[in-house]
Amino acid sequence: MESRIGAGFDVHRLTEGRPLILGGVEIPFEKGLLGHSDADVLIHALMDALLGAAALGDIGRHFPDNDPQYKDISSMKLLEKVKKLIDEEFYGISNVDITVMAERPKIKSYIDDMTEKIGEALEIDKSKINIKGTTTEKLGFVGREEGIAAQAVCLLYR
């Protein structure tokens, strides 16, 4: 059996007037993430990890941010497209591990819903998905609440 590891990282600026979507879940917060799509930083990092493990490039290659068809699109729809690309290469997903870096909001109470949605999109059991939140102890752009970052790793097999 062949195994391949992928890593993904993404950052989006917080801004007023947009909903905050993380892991496919809308989280009540006074700001949202700025981006061409729904700017779901968690899902973007995950997609890059999956694409990287399969040596399929990155999300910018598949879903360019200057393409009008992706304007305000749900990142969960893009994740489903990434799953199809992974399937076409005959890879299975062993597991994913995702870290969200944000001072606020705390994501703990939303993790079960995020895990459920990601499991459905990737057609894998929730036990293969781990999501956790952390702060940067008020340091840097995350600490100043200017943006949110996410990091993801995954293991594929075939």
Which positions make up the binding site for a divalent metal cation? Answer: 10, 12, 44
Is residue 72 helix, strand or coil?
A: coil
Q: Please report, in range form, the residues annotated as the binding site.
A: 10-12, 36-37, 44, 58-60, 63-67, 134-137, 141, 144
C-alpha–C-alpha distance, residues 8 and 113, integer Å: 21
Non-local (6+) Cβ contacts of 12 within 8 A are 33, 34, 35, 39, 41, 44, 147, 148
C-alpha–C-alpha distance, residues 60 and 65, integer Å: 7
What length is written for the chain? Answer: 158
* Site of tokens 């999109």: 121
User: Which amino acid is present at 41?
Assistant: V
Non-local (6+) Cβ contacts of 116 within 8 A are 126
Q: Nearest to residue 82, comparing CAs of 65, 111, 100, 61?
A: 61
